Amino acid sequence: MNKEEYNNLSKQILDASIRVHKEMGPGLLESVYEQCLIKELNLRKIKTESQVFLHLNYRGFELNKDFRLDLLVENDIIIEIKAVEVLLAVHEAQIISYLKLADKRLGFLINFNVPLLKNGFKRFVNGF
Protein backbone atom coordinates (compact mmCIF):
# COMPACT_ATOMS: atom_id res chain seq x y z
CA MET A 1 0.00 0.00 0.00
CA ASN A 2 1.41 3.38 -0.94
CA LYS A 3 1.13 6.65 0.98
CA GLU A 4 -1.85 7.90 -1.03
CA GLU A 5 -3.76 4.65 -0.40
CA TYR A 6 -2.99 4.90 3.32
CA ASN A 7 -4.25 8.49 3.36
CA ASN A 8 -7.46 7.64 1.49
CA LEU A 9 -8.18 4.71 3.78
CA SER A 10 -7.38 6.87 6.83
CA LYS A 11 -9.99 9.40 5.73
CA GLN A 12 -12.56 6.62 5.34
CA ILE A 13 -11.76 5.27 8.81
CA LEU A 14 -12.10 8.72 10.37
CA ASP A 15 -15.36 9.38 8.53
CA ALA A 16 -16.76 5.96 9.50
CA SER A 17 -15.74 6.53 13.14
CA ILE A 18 -17.44 9.92 13.20
CA ARG A 19 -20.59 8.36 11.72
CA VAL A 20 -20.65 5.67 14.43
CA HIS A 21 -20.08 8.29 17.15
CA LYS A 22 -22.89 10.49 15.81
CA GLU A 23 -25.28 7.53 15.65
CA MET A 24 -24.43 5.93 19.00
CA GLY A 25 -23.06 8.79 21.11
CA PRO A 26 -20.54 8.42 23.95
CA GLY A 27 -20.91 6.26 27.05
CA LEU A 28 -21.34 2.76 25.63
CA LEU A 29 -19.12 -0.33 25.86
CA GLU A 30 -16.11 -0.74 23.58
CA SER A 31 -17.67 -3.87 22.07
CA VAL A 32 -20.66 -1.83 20.88
CA TYR A 33 -18.45 0.64 19.03
CA GLU A 34 -16.34 -2.18 17.62
CA GLN A 35 -19.34 -3.94 16.08
CA CYS A 36 -20.81 -0.69 14.75
CA LEU A 37 -17.49 0.38 13.22
CA ILE A 38 -17.09 -3.02 11.55
CA LYS A 39 -20.53 -2.64 10.02
CA GLU A 40 -19.86 0.94 8.90
CA LEU A 41 -16.56 -0.03 7.27
CA ASN A 42 -18.16 -3.07 5.61
CA LEU A 43 -20.91 -0.85 4.21
CA ARG A 44 -18.11 1.14 2.57
CA LYS A 45 -16.66 -2.09 1.11
CA ILE A 46 -13.61 -1.92 3.39
CA LYS A 47 -12.35 -5.32 4.51
CA THR A 48 -12.24 -5.45 8.30
CA GLU A 49 -11.32 -8.29 10.64
CA SER A 50 -12.01 -8.18 14.36
CA GLN A 51 -10.21 -9.67 17.36
CA VAL A 52 -7.23 -10.77 15.27
CA PHE A 53 -4.66 -12.80 17.19
CA LEU A 54 -1.09 -11.53 17.14
CA HIS A 55 1.60 -13.94 18.28
CA LEU A 56 4.71 -12.71 20.07
CA ASN A 57 7.89 -13.73 18.28
CA TYR A 58 11.40 -13.17 19.57
CA ARG A 59 14.51 -14.02 17.54
CA GLY A 60 12.54 -16.49 15.46
CA PHE A 61 10.87 -18.15 18.44
CA GLU A 62 7.14 -17.99 18.98
CA LEU A 63 6.66 -17.21 22.66
CA ASN A 64 3.73 -18.22 24.80
CA LYS A 65 2.05 -14.81 24.59
CA ASP A 66 -0.71 -13.67 22.26
CA PHE A 67 -2.34 -10.30 21.80
CA ARG A 68 -5.64 -9.43 20.13
CA LEU A 69 -6.05 -6.54 17.75
CA ASP A 70 -9.49 -4.96 17.98
CA LEU A 71 -9.63 -4.36 14.23
CA LEU A 72 -7.37 -5.00 11.27
CA VAL A 73 -8.44 -2.99 8.22
CA GLU A 74 -7.45 -4.16 4.73
CA ASN A 75 -4.76 -6.28 6.42
CA ASP A 76 -2.69 -3.10 6.85
CA ILE A 77 -4.15 -0.74 9.45
CA ILE A 78 -4.65 -1.54 13.13
CA ILE A 79 -7.48 0.08 15.07
CA GLU A 80 -7.60 -0.07 18.85
CA ILE A 81 -10.97 0.98 20.26
CA LYS A 82 -11.48 2.50 23.68
CA ALA A 83 -14.43 3.87 25.63
CA VAL A 84 -12.64 5.47 28.57
CA GLU A 85 -12.75 8.79 30.42
CA VAL A 86 -9.14 9.61 29.51
CA LEU A 87 -6.64 7.99 27.18
CA LEU A 88 -3.54 7.01 29.14
CA ALA A 89 0.06 6.37 28.14
CA VAL A 90 -0.59 2.64 28.47
CA HIS A 91 -3.22 2.87 25.70
CA GLU A 92 -0.68 4.53 23.41
CA ALA A 93 1.94 1.92 24.35
CA GLN A 94 -0.58 -0.75 23.39
CA ILE A 95 -1.11 0.53 19.82
CA ILE A 96 2.61 1.23 19.36
CA SER A 97 3.43 -2.31 20.52
CA TYR A 98 0.86 -3.82 18.17
CA LEU A 99 2.22 -1.85 15.22
CA LYS A 100 5.77 -3.01 15.89
CA LEU A 101 4.89 -6.63 16.67
CA ALA A 102 2.62 -6.96 13.63
CA ASP A 103 5.04 -5.00 11.42
CA LYS A 104 2.27 -2.65 10.30
CA ARG A 105 2.84 0.98 9.35
CA LEU A 106 -0.34 2.71 10.48
CA GLY A 107 -2.68 2.48 13.45
CA PHE A 108 -5.45 4.40 15.14
CA LEU A 109 -6.39 4.68 18.77
CA ILE A 110 -10.03 5.75 18.93
CA ASN A 111 -11.73 6.73 22.18
CA PHE A 112 -15.48 6.91 21.61
CA ASN A 113 -16.21 8.18 25.13
CA VAL A 114 -15.74 11.85 24.24
CA PRO A 115 -18.23 14.61 23.32
CA LEU A 116 -16.40 15.32 20.03
CA LEU A 117 -14.75 12.34 18.30
CA LYS A 118 -11.86 14.31 16.80
CA ASN A 119 -10.63 14.74 20.40
CA GLY A 120 -10.53 10.96 20.83
CA PHE A 121 -8.95 10.04 17.49
CA LYS A 122 -5.18 9.50 17.43
CA ARG A 123 -3.01 8.35 14.54
CA PHE A 124 0.19 6.36 15.03
CA VAL A 125 2.84 5.69 12.40
CA ASN A 126 5.50 3.01 12.50
CA GLY A 127 8.41 3.89 10.19
CA PHE A 128 6.45 5.89 7.61
What's the confidence (pLDDT) of residue 119?
Answer: 94
Q: Residue 103 class from Cβ within 10 Å (0-12 exposed, 13-18 middle, 19+ buried)?
A: exposed
**Which among 48, 97, 26 has a CA at the least distance from the CA of 109?**
97
Number of domains, the chain: 1
Model confidence pLDDT, tens digit, residues 34-49: 999 999 999 999 999 9
Nearest to 76 by CA among 44, 108, 45: 108
**pLDDT under 50 in the chain at which residues?**
none
pLDDT at 128: 55
Residue 25's CATH number: 3.90.1570
pTM of the predicted protein model: 0.94
- Note the pLDDT of residue 40: 98
* Host domain of residue 26: 3-125
